[in-house]
Each structure stands twice: as structure tokens, then as C-alpha cells.
A and B are shown apart, each in its own frame.
Chain A
Amino acid sequence: MTQKQFEQFKGSSDYVISDPLKNAVNVSIVLQRPLIVRGEPGTGKTLLSHSIASSLGKELIRWNVKSTTKASDGLYIYDTVQRLNDSRFGGKDVSDIKHYIKLGKLGQAFTAPVQVVLLIDEVDKADLEFPNDLLNELDEMSFYIPETDETISAILRPVVIITSNNEKELPDAFLRRCIFHYIEFPEPDLMEEIVKVHFPNIKSSLLKDALDSFYVLRKIDDFRKKPSTSELIDWIQALMASGLDGKIKDGEIPFLGTLLKKETDIDYYVSHHVRKKPQGRGYNISGN
């Protein structure tokens, strides 16, 4: 079997990973195709590439995509303003355009002498045509710079991880060339492992209570933003610092504000799930 060559990525100590995702990563490495990772916010899409880089011992090149990012920015930038400035006021040799070509993140990943991990973060933030503009470059792992008549091609094909928040649909032609994985929200078992990575010394009773309460909240569909993993971690930290347990008593949850970030969600929870007290006192959502 080719098991040895296949099992390249095994997850790292600070990142808990499900088997299907691990396999998807390995397939994308072996088949040399970009891996698109999609999922709810806070499920660790971006951290995945950090984990891959650290466990494979490779450098991570991160390209943060913004709404103004153009595909060509990732390849190279021809710094015309600098050249103009130099021609006027003197400086470097203006006749050599090479001085004014700066490689973008994609270009850096291609020209790296060792294999690197390239993260294209939040690819859907950019213009709708953005992914299509990168099709050929990601396929062939090379691009052409007309200004200097040079072709930059990858010395070693980088491991490409692309994350997407599903803001915009990605074009089919782009998707066809990729491996796709959707990170599901972790089930309680996996979540337990994830929490343990963050808090190795957590008491098992606290962990159990906190997770039970957390998944009760997750089941409420009417929240604008359901609490995610990162909120859970913050909440547990607050619980540990205060010495409280994570049980829901009469619907009340300590430090509710760390779990629910929208005012409307807190209002909704308090009015629908907190048992009303006869004295008519204000409801305790801050935990003391």
C-alpha cells in the first residue's frame, strides 16, 4: 500500500481535526490540487493551514483577500509610481523594469526554493471574477510577466488551501479544479477534544456541564448568530477564572454575554428561556 506516502498530514497538537478533513487535506496534497475549505465562522478554517504548515514543517504564505484585491495583485505588482519618481528625481536604474516588479503572495509561493503552504484566505471577499482570474495560474502554477518577458513557474508546487465564507458563490470552473471540504460544526465528542487542547487541566465535571449548556444554546435556531467554538473557549475561560460551573439554572447562564454577541439574541434568550422570577428583579446575565 501507499499508506506511508499518503498519510502525510496527521494534524498537530494544537489543532484537533476530523478524519474526513485530514483525508481531504492529504488527497489535495497528493493530487496537487487546491483545497477549498468552507464552514461556519469559528470552525477553524484559517487555523487549518497553520496546522498543516507546522506539522509538515513548511513555511506558510498567507494571502488575505479583501474586497479590493485583484487577482493580479497576487502574482506581481509593477510599481509604476516608484519608477516614475525615480525617473524624475534619480534613484535606481530606471531602464531596468525588473527593479520595479514585486512578486505578490502567489509569486512568492511559486518562487520559493522549498515547498510552502499557500493560504488564500476568504477568497469570496473579492470581486466575483477573482477566482476565475486565478484559474490558469493555479492550474499550471505559473504565470507570465509581460513587462519583463519572464515566466514565473513554481519550482515546487505549493500546497494551496483556500478558505471561503460562502458570501459569494464561487464559479463552477474554479470549483471543478479543487478539492472541497465543508467543516461541520464539531459534535460534542470532537468539541471535548478541542476544549482539552486549549485547557489541558480542565475539570471533567465543568467541561461536561459547559458543553451540555453550550449545545442547548446551539439548538436554539432563532439566534442571529449562534455561539461558535471561539465563544465557547472564551466562556470556559471565564467560568474557570470565576470558579462557577456551566450549568443552566432556571434558564440562567453565567456570562451569557461571552456566548451571545448580539443584543437581540440575548434579549431573545432572556425573554424566551429564562424562568421569570416572582419578585420581578432584573435578570442576571452577567454571572454574579
Chain B
Amino acid sequence: MFTPFFYKLKEKKVPVSITEWMVLMEALDKRLIGNMSDFYYLARAILVKSETHFDQYDVAFQEYFNGIAPPLEVTEELLAWLTDPKNRPQLTPEEMAAIQKMDLEELLREFEKRLKEQDERHDGGNRWIGTGGTSPFGNSGYNPQGIRVGGPGGMRSAVRIAEQRYFRNYRDDMTLDIRQIKVALKQLRKLNRTGPEDELDLDRTIDATCKNAGEIEFMWKRPRKNAIKLLLIMDAGGSMEPYADLCSQLFSAANSLSHFKAFKYYYFHNCPYDVLYSDIQQRKSETIEHLLKILEPDYKVIFVGDACMAFSELMERYGDIYFHGYQKMSGIDTLKHFRSHFTHCVWLNPEKTVLRSYPTVQVIAKLFPMYDLSLEGLNLAVKKLVTRR
């Protein structure tokens, strides 16, 4: 049942698994879901585990269910009301006449029509769907054969809720703030026991004490510390100007995390050649040759840059547009050196996918796994950095 909906969700990149789908089937089987609105919320509660995916869920829901109307609940409730003997004696002659005025189909048609026309909540009044009124549709109203619609704010049908797309702002492929970056970077972690033996090892102490016939014998161990070293290399070139804020956020997040064993950062302009700069004005420089000697291969390297440049800037030996003639190596060879020296390198690209077909971007993406500079991309990049090769 609803299996195409499962694939619809997958198509919209909502990470649903079979396990969760089976839970939903169990819930359906236990008849926990009575109407479309319930289904919308419960399927979401069971299938979607982060508000960042609610928007994709809404889109999928809308696309899949939009064709299926009207919601079954209306017919059932209405029929139940019409056949409910308890209500009949209480009807006044006018009310009986009112029932005869509209037959079921007409009522439903009218309901849909008004639902479409109506675009906001209505309380009171005699026409719109809402609460407290005498319109045939709504909640807590007085029309005897009215359709009661949901609970509070109930005129939003499930598909309509989906249509509102309340959660658009929560999508994680959109925004980044420092805190989110920190959370993402915190995953860069490998705990090793290092340093002096100054942590009491309780279990071994007890063992040793017992063996020592109760005379207390202390045993010590080394504390656990994060062994990750991070190297951040950022493009400070002109084409990166629009992303200056984003890059500085990434930098301040990484810099303020006292979480790494070592954190180093360098800048380059458009494409790294021979030297990297330790300040953004590009005055203090260090040669890459030297850096690759002093930095151990287990540094995790994150390049940030748009990777867009003239083809010659990347591929040719004298490609540097700023310092003609002094280069030892072409940009691509420099990058290849990084690739072979460090075990883990990734490239974060703030440019959206439009420019990914740019030739130099494609060349660099072959060298380094390339991700968007978005929360989603950063998370993927971090995962790449901590996995074993």
C-alpha cells in the first residue's frame, strides 16, 4: 500500500528506510490512522526524522496525494451522521427540511468548492468553512448536517498542510550558521589515549589491589584526546568575494573549536602555486615545499574555493596571473602534490551546481572529492575525512 509514495519520498531525497516503512505499515495495520490529516502527521512522525527534511516530505506528499480527493473522512463522517439514530429525534422540522435541501453529493461538491475558494481561517459567519458558524461545513458550528472538519484550524486538509510548506526554512541544503558548522566539524574526531598516565584506572586498580591482598595499589592510564589535525586552505581570490561571509563563518567555527589537536589555515589566490599565505592580505607566505615537509600526512585537509579559473591558470606552468614567471610548478601539479602527501583531502565549493560544468572545476573535482559549502555538503565532507581509505 502506498508503495509509490515510498519511492516518491526517496526521489525527493528524504532518507527513508525499509524499517521505517514497515513501522508505518504496522501503524496502518493497527488502524492507528483514521483520516488523511492523521496520515500526514503520523507518516511524517514515523518516516521523517529531522525537521530539515519536512519540506521535501511536504513536496512529495503534495505530488503523490494531490490527485486523490476528496478525503475519505468527510464521506464517512457524514454518512455516519446521517445514519446515526441518536441525532434524529433532536432535529427540529427546519433542520429536517435542511437535510432534504442538500443531498450528500451536492454537499460534498459544495464543500470542495468552498474549500478551494477559501484561503484563510473563518470563525463565525454562515458561508465559509470554519468554527462557530452556521455554514454547513466546519467545526463547533450549528448547521445540523454540516461537515465537521478536523480539530483546531481544521479546514486545512492534509494536502493543504503540505502545500503550505511551513518547513521550507529548515532545509539543511540552504543555510549555514557558525553553530551548525561547529556541530558538523565536531564530528572530526578520533580519540586516542595520549599524554602522561594521570587518569585513575579503576578496574585495574581493584584487580591489582585484590591481588595485593587488599593493600591498595593504584593503576593509572592515559586520558583520551582528540588526535585530529585540521588544515584549512581557503581561496581569497576576487571571484570568492560573494562568499566571503560564508568562508569567514567556516573559519571562525573551526578556529573557535578547541577541539582539534592542531588547526592550521592558509590562503591562496584563485589557484595555489608554490606558496600559501598565512594572512588574508597575502603578505606572509610559506612555500608549499616547506609546508609539505613540516605538516604530517595525517592532517585532514579542507580546500575552500570556487575552483573556477582560466584553464591555463590551472594547467600551465606559468599560469599564475599575478606573479609571472616565477613558478616552479603548475597549479594542477601543486594540487596533485597535496593529494599524494595528505591521506584525507576534500574540496568545498560555495558555487552552486550551475558552475560545476566549468572545465577547471571538473579537473579539480577529479582530484579531490568536491562538496557544496552547505550544511549537507559539509557533513558529507566531514564523513569523507574521517572514513578510512
Contacts and interface: CB of A to CB of B under 8 A. Distances in A.
Contact of A83 (B48, B54, B187, B206): B206
Interface string B155-170: 0000000000010000
A87 to B, nearest CB: 6
B350 to A, nearest CB: 22
A84 B34 contact: no
Interface residues of B, number: 40
A172 B31 contact: no
B45 interface: yes
Given A24-B42, A167-B183, A189 B153 contact: yes
B19 A176 contact: yes
A30 B216 CA distance: 52
A283 interface: no
Contact of B31 (A2, A26, A176, A189): A2
Contacts of A142: none
Interface string B168-209: 000000000000000100110100000000000011011001
Interface in A8-30: 18-20, 23-24, 26-27, 30
Contacts of A18: 152
A45 interface: no
Contact of A175 (B38, B49, B54): B49
B48 A180 contact: yes
A33 B23 contact: yes
Interface in A158-185: 167-170, 172, 175-182, 184
B73 interface: no
A128 interface: yes
Contact of A1 (B31, B41, B214): B31
A176 B32 contact: no
Contacts of B214: 87-88
A226 interface: no
Most chain-A CB neighbours within 10 Å: which of B20, B32, B152?
B32
Contacts of B49: 36, 170, 172, 175-176, 178, 180
B166 A184 contact: yes
A190 B151 CA distance: 12
B157 to A, nearest CB: 14
A59 B210 CA distance: 41
Q: Which 8 A-B pairs have the closest CB atoms?
A: A175-B49, A20-B41, A182-B51, A24-B45, A180-B49, A19-B151, A176-B19, A179-B45
Interface of A: 1-3, 6, 18-20, 23-24, 26-27, 30-31, 33, 36, 38, 80-81, 83-84, 87-88, 128, 167-170, 172, 175-182, 184, 187, 189-190
